[in-house]
Chains A and B, each alone.
Chain A
Amino acid sequence: MKDALRLDAIDRALIVATQGGLPLVARPYQAIGEQVGIAGDEVMRRLQAMLESGVIRRIGAVPNHYAIGWTANGMTVWDVPDVRVDELGARVGALDFVTHCYRRPRALPDWPYNLFAMVHGSSRDEVRDKAAQIAELLGADCRARDVLFSTRILKKTGLRI
């Protein structure tokens, strides 16, 4: 992770003004500029700079994955040896069907897992098949595993600062 960037008050105001979404009007950047007190061109320049620095990952549509056919959503979790987790995590993250892959701390004794990989499918069987491919990749390094299927989105507003 690179060092965090210092954003000025206007950048922050732009994030606050757009975190609920871009205005659905012909000239959205101009509309945001009017709200924040800068020109539309300056809004675009600053958004571009934040995209380049990684403060903004991307600009676009955030789908509800259930509504677009990805009705089975499984958080697959794995207990692998600490000395192997980085190499294995990189390989699991490189699988084309894994959308997120992280190393996280265990919470013993309740939670022995240190590797998390999100997997989506149109059915639970599809997710289980994908989890089986991860298990195969991990081989003997997989000491314990589970899949936690989501059954309901309770909230999905995204970031609010």
Chain B
Amino acid sequence: MLEIDAVDRQIIDKLQGDFPLCERPYAAAAERLGITEDELLVRLQRLLDARVLTRFGPMVQIERMGGAFVLAALAVPEARYDEVTALVNALPQVAHNYRREHALNMWFVLATETPAGIAEAVARIEADTGLPVFAFPKEREYFVEMKLAARA
């Protein structure tokens, strides 16, 4: 895994939101960090290549544009885990997917542009895998703020 230094940590911690909307936003953000625009661009590319960052850009709240996010889970037999992972991940509607320790051992988030898209994706996964999908649509959101400071 890539070693991250103090400047990388600053980039990760300070740039999780409020990226400037101006002609040269990397230059403006770099100035706040005390580095040059070129250095910021090089470091961002390196952090993305090393998968320390999974993305750099806008985070869309699809429900605000009429779509839906749904958490869903499968109980995947161990012998079929890799095969089922490939089938589930193949759907573009699967935004992320985690292996977890539980009888329900695969947890993924479906994101679709229309609410009906969720049912279609669930039906497709059930047909492709032969496994029942447990869907856990959110009924109420109490808090969401996924900003974690770099500890490494």
Enumerate chain A interface residues (CB-CB to B < 8 A): 1-2, 4-7, 12, 15, 18-22, 24-30, 40, 44, 47-48, 50, 53-65, 67-70, 73, 75, 85-86, 89-90, 92-94, 98-105, 107, 110-111, 116, 118, 120, 122, 146, 148-161
Given the interface contacts A103-B142, A159-B111, does A27 sit within 8 Å of B104 by beta carbon? no
Interface of A is mostly: mixed
Residues of chain A lying within 8 A (CB to CB) of residue B108: 154-155
Enumerate chain B interface residues (CB-CB to A < 8 A): 1-2, 4, 9, 11-12, 15-19, 21-27, 37, 41, 44-45, 47-48, 50-67, 71, 85, 88-89, 92-104, 106-108, 111, 113, 134, 136-152
Residues of chain A lying within 8 A (CB to CB) of residue B92: 160
Interface of B is mostly: mixed
Q: How far is the CA of A21 from the CA of B45 in the complex (A)?
A: 11
- In the complex, the number of residue pairs spanning A and B with C-beta atoms less than 8 Å apart equals 257
A159 in contact with B60 (CB, 8 Å): yes
Closest residue on chain A to residue B101 by CB atoms: A149
Q: How far is the CA of A98 from the CA of B19 in the complex (A)?
A: 24
Can you list 12 A-B contacts (CB < 8 A)? A4-B64, A24-B26, A24-B45, A24-B56, A26-B27, A26-B41, A59-B59, A63-B12, A103-B138, A148-B107, A155-B94, A160-B111
Q: How far is the CA of A161 from the CA of B112 in the complex (A)?
A: 7
B136 in contact with A104 (CB, 8 Å): yes
Partner of B19, one of A1, A60, A65: A60
Q: How far is the CA of A24 from the CA of B101 in the complex (A)?
A: 37
Q: How far is the CA of A156 from the CA of B55 in the complex (A)?
A: 9
